[in-house]
Amino acid sequence: MIKKSYLIVILCFVFECCSVFAEDISPYGSDRFITEKIVLESEAIAGGRILFHSSSDLSGKLRITADTVDSAIIEIQKIVKTSSRSKATEYSELTDVVFRKAGRGLEILFRTPNPAPWSGGEESVVIEGELHLPKECQLKIEADYFDLDIEGPFVSVENDKSFGRLDVRDVTKIVKLTGSNRDITLKNIIGNITVNLSHADVWIEEMKVEYQPARISNEYGNVNIEGLEGEFIIADSYGRIRMTDTHIIGGKSSIEGIQSPIHVSVESLEKAELFMSNSYEDIILDIPDTIAADFFLKTDGDGEIHLQGVPVKPVVIESNYVELSSGHEGSVIKAGIEGGGNINIYGSSE
């Protein structure tokens, strides 16, 4: 019996590493206490799967970076909001930071009792710090209330839900993010890209779409994209859509606004189709004056259609609908507005 218990202790030590030692804690302003820096390390494989999971009773800020290392290294401090040092010590010790092997991957867990004793009140435990990982990892996030600053190169970054700010850079294959109430910023991303957001803004810089059209959707916030190459499906309600330096190569791309002004600058449209729709707000499209495409443009009510700087031949001219052509090379531009709004298309030379 004694021998069996001994083996269980050894197995727990081998497969799970966590912060179980006593932590020094110091005052940190009014009704706040902070721990000393906690450092944990575990072997990790470049290209392996990394899961970062946090209890919903924790919040914080974490910077995640890809480095030339062959292990995962986390350096964090716990900030406890409570009125007494004894409670701060108790709450800190109830918050575990755990590394756990999972096949060829690694799980990084921030754990608390369920429910945590500070849950639902004015007290809280916040974790802030840095996580260093090998390059080309596949990163999965399950941390609802963390602001995350993520810098690769990583193969993939995915999360199902976030109420924190997400800043993601240098991802080479998959980006799938869902968030609300805090902004999402993406830079230098390639591959299969999906972003679902509400009550916040999304800012994207340098996006190259591969495998399937990028899907960007937002409600009650803005979509801002600078430097997009490939196909896309973009939808926004009650915000603004602004796109610059857009290169559409093949396939079908679409932009749908609901009471969301749309302003898109297209640098190239190569044998592709672009569909734009809106309600109660304008559509503005800037294109090269040398573009070869067929135009199908329609408005409702008092809406007007203006096309300037692009040499076109009229095909159909009606009060709220026109068909125009600037050359038949397989490209199509369709734009329609319901409920009022103008369509303005401007051609410019290089």
Instruction: Give the tens place of pLDDT for each residue, 166-179.
Output: 999 999 999 999 99
Residue whose token pair is 């401007």: 346
In the chain, what percentage of residues exceed pLDDT 70?
Answer: 93
Q: How much is the pLDDT for 174?
A: 97
Mean pLDDT confidence for 251-275:
95
Residue 202 has pLDDT above 70, yes or no: yes
Residue 7 has pLDDT above 50, yes or no: no
Tell me the C-alpha to C-alpha distance, in Å, between residue 165 and each of 63, 147, 171, 179, 205: 12, 5, 17, 8, 16
Residue 241 has pLDDT above 60, yes or no: yes
Please state whether beta strands 241-249 and 262-270 pair in parallel, antiparallel, or not at all (unpaired): parallel
Q: How much is the pLDDT for 16?
A: 54
Mean pLDDT confidence for 183-193:
97
Report the distance separating Cα 113 and Cα 27, nearest Å: 24
Q: Are 60 and 126 in contact, with CB atoms under 8 Å apart?
A: yes
Mean pLDDT confidence for 210-228:
96
Q: How much is the pLDDT for 46?
A: 85
Report the distance separating Cα 195 and Cα 104, nearest Å: 28
Please state whether beta strands 146-159 and 138-142 pair in parallel, antiparallel, or not at all (unpaired): parallel
Q: Is 35 exposed, middle or buried (0-12, 13-18, 19+ CB in 10 A)?
A: buried
Residue 28 has pLDDT above 50, yes or no: yes
Q: How much is the pLDDT for 120?
A: 86
Mean pLDDT confidence for 102-119:
92
Mean pLDDT confidence for 231-239:
97
Q: What angle do CA 251, 253, 255 make, to 5 degrees?
A: 175
Lowest mean pLDDT among 18-27, 259-268, 294-303: 18-27
pLDDT: which is higher, 116 or 120: 116
pLDDT band at 337; cut points 50, 70, 90:
very high
Mean pLDDT confidence for 38-53:
92
Residue 13 has pLDDT above 60, yes or no: no
131-160 exposure pattern, b = at least 16 Cβ within 10 A, e = fewer? bbbbbbbbbbbbbbbbbbbbbbebbbbbbe
Q: How much is the pLDDT for 332?
A: 95
Q: How much is the pLDDT for 200?
A: 96
Q: Where along the chain do its domains lie?
A: 16-172, 183-350
pLDDT band at 21; cut points 50, 70, 90:
very low
Q: How much is the pLDDT for 161?
A: 87
Q: Are 340 and 281 in contact, with CB atoms under 8 Å apart?
A: no
pLDDT: which is higher, 21 or 307: 307
Report the distance separating Cα 57 and Cα 92, nearest Å: 13
pLDDT band at 249; cut points 50, 70, 90:
confident
Residue 3 has pLDDT above 50, yes or no: no
Q: How far apart are the first and last CA of the chain?
A: 83
Would you state the torsion angle of the CA atoms of residues 14, 19, 24, 29, taken in this order, to the nearest 10 degrees? 160
Average pLDDT, the chain: 91
Q: How much is the pLDDT for 22?
A: 54
**3-state secondary structure string across 102-145:** ECCEEEEEEECCCCCCCCCCCCEEEEEEEEEEECCCEEEEECCC
Residue 4 has pLDDT above 70, yes or no: no
In the chain, what percentage of residues exceed pLDDT 90?
Answer: 79
